[in-house]
Amino acid sequence: MLLRRYEMPWRRPLELLAAACWAAGAVLYLACTPQTIPWRLGLFLFILCVGMAILRLRQGLHIVAVRAALSGRAMQMISTRQLAALTADPEQVVFGFGFEWQPVHSQRLYELAKIDYREMRIAPAVVKLLGYVDNPQPDEEIGLPYIHGVEQKEMLLARPLQNFEGGTLVVGTTQSGKGVCLGWLITQAIRRGDVVIILDPKNSQRLKRLVMRACADYRDPDTFLWFHPAFPETGARLDFTFNWQKPTEIASRIQSILPPDTAGAFSAYGWDAVNVVTQGMIRLEMRPNLMKLMAYIEGGIEPVLERSLERFYEELLGMHWRAEPELVRLQERARRGGFKSPSPEASAELLALVEYYRRHVHESRRDKAIDSQVRVFRHDREHYQKITSILLPILSMLTSGDLGRSLSPDPFDVDDERPIMNLEKIERAGHVALICLDSLPDPSVASAIGAMCLADLAARSGIRYNLGGYRRISLFVDEVSNVINRPLIEIMNKGAEGGICTTAAMQTIADLAERLGGEAAARMALGNLNNMIAFRTKDQPTQMFINETFGETAIHNMKVGRNTAHDGHLGDFTAVDSAQITEEMSELVPTSLLGKLPNLQFFASVAGGRLCKGRFALLDPGVVEAGENAQEGALP
């Protein structure tokens, strides 16, 4: 049984020589019949020789075909029109060209590791003569060509859309092909009619052109939205605090972008500070945004508290509440300095209003939002600034200059004609939003914007989960280590139920571990993604993580032995030849080869463990008509 399963294609095709000998024998028997051989016997021998010649020829050509693919395949470029032809079925996700990886391919790789693969390559002229694809990988390209060349036949890699609802991880080192992969997946999502949200820390111009081309081809061009912190005047304005069901959600979103602290106390104080201001603004029928929150947290809650108390007394005491004798007495005392002010910004009238609330309003009639504001107002000002110090730098980054007007839009500003968008409007109108974070010059602001967007989307996911009936959202996050936070992990974990399908791209686990505080936390986050597309990666922990997903297979090893013994007499000796095939479990894909993949080539684990080896073609949105026609024949 083992002998039939063992294969060694990395050798000379000796079967072709045997086929030639059998063919010569057939010609010989044909020539000798019936002069020297009875015609029945000659016919039998002729048929036997022809049959054996055909069998050996097939076996020899199989060896040639396997060896012919060792030169690999050069990088290829296709147009968006060609991609549209390949992705005609919207219920299928196409992720390149390749084949399903089987144990036989692992066996071939392990055998190739023992020899110099260049000696096994077939001359291009012979390959072309035999009708095989003649686009070998040039020597100047990165990576080993034979990794993709262990299989001579390619097909279009596609899986049902539902297989990708559990999330997809795209991992690979710099310039290995992650951006091209995202371009394929984003183009298909736009064509399907999904709501598409893209977080791009690098501001890739190529990706922007692809997204705009896809919107022009399959949607109304006005559906494309662009945001860039360095060019706020040319994009849309985004309000990440617009949608909420409970006021506490806004405080939770702000907390999600805070840097982690050991005890969590400062984060808790920051959450409370935002929540108190938010509750007060909502009670006054004011819509919270980042700039207003910054103003009332940094400058003090006095304006909100004073207006809240005035409205409360109006509801409690009537329209003439200012004539209340006790309140008038307290105001006069406050003007004379009778009360110690916790804040230099507090007016005498505010001190009187607070004292009246504390002394003369029964607890059963008090308002919890005002109680919280009074507590913050009476807190020592200097100490309060210390405990909220972690909050102010983050809010300051998001509210400075033109960025503040972009993230806290004023709908009554007639001079600003940029559209004001929020995630609910983006979803209902079916927009494609490309949010560039500009992480290279300003990583802190980029991280804060991305985290704020993800926190808002997580809240939106909860609304969708509760209510249902909303459009599918395809979320693409490039360089996920720059923006990952708890809301994104929640989206990856539970977002599929709310119709949000996430694709996250990263380089190494170490990047993610640094952001989340440890490798265990990074692995926990990645465990929420069901599919993985792995490009070339040089980081060993990342390679080990990838191979854990791929699993193991049985590899056959042949051991050949020869023993010769002389018994002392001339011409007397004993010779023993032996061949033994053993089986042992090894990695389905050798770890060392993950760092030697050519650009745009990958291993993919999809649909619950189905392993594929594939490659992407460069997607060019600017190919002219003649170029498209010229490349049609290059498709497999």
d(CA 5, CA 35): 45
Query: Is position 157 within any domain?
Result: no
Q: What is the CA radius of gyration of the chain?
A: 35
Write down the pTM of the prediction.
0.83
Query: Is position 50 within any domain?
Result: yes
Query: Is position 90 within any domain?
Result: no
Residue 156, pLDDT score: 93
Residue carrying the six token digits 């507590």 = 375
Residue 542, pLDDT score: 92
Question: Which letter, b or e, does each residue of 472-506 get, where b requires 16 or more Cβ atoms within 10 Å of its Cβ?
Answer: bbbbbbbbbbbbbbbbbbbbbbebbebbbbbbbbb
Query: Is position 233 within any domain?
Result: no
User: The domain containing residue 60 runs over which residues?
Assistant: 2-71
Q: Which two tokens stand for residue 351?
A: 């001190």
d(CA 200, CA 311): 45
Query: Is position 574 within any domain?
Result: no
Residue 604, pLDDT score: 93
The Cα-based distances of 186 to 105, 151, 177, 196, 496 in angstroms read 31, 29, 14, 8, 17
Query: Is position 47 within any domain?
Result: yes
Query: Is position 25 within any domain?
Result: yes
Dihedral in degrees, nearest 10, Cα atoms 422, 426, 428, 432 = -170
Q: Which two tokens stand for residue 28?
A: 């010989």
Domain final residue, candidates 365, 389, 413: 389
Count of domains forming the chain: 2
Give the strand pairing for 195-200 and 531-534.
unpaired
- Amino acid at residue number 543: Q
Q: With a cut of 70, list the residues of the chain below it in pLDDT.
A: 1-7, 116-117, 123-134, 259-266, 468-469, 556-561, 566-573, 578-582, 622-636
Query: Is position 35 within any domain?
Result: yes
Domain final residue, candidates 27, 56, 71: 71
The Cα-based distances of 475 to 309, 336, 387, 483 in angstroms read 44, 60, 35, 13
d(CA 412, CA 157): 51
d(CA 259, CA 605): 33
DSSP 241: T
d(CA 164, CA 162): 5
Instruction: Find, among 452, 426, 459, the residue nearest to 437 by Cα.
Output: 452
Instruction: Find, among 169, 209, 197, the residue nearest to 535 by Cα.
Output: 169
Domain final residue, candidates 45, 71, 97: 71
- DSSP code string of 315-369: HHH-TTGGG-HHHHHHHHHHHTT-S--SSTT--HHHHHHHHHHHHHS-GGG--HH
Instruction: Find, among 505, 528, 433, the residue nearest to 474 by Cα.
Output: 433
Dihedral in degrees, nearest 10, Cα atoms 172, 173, 175, 181 = 10
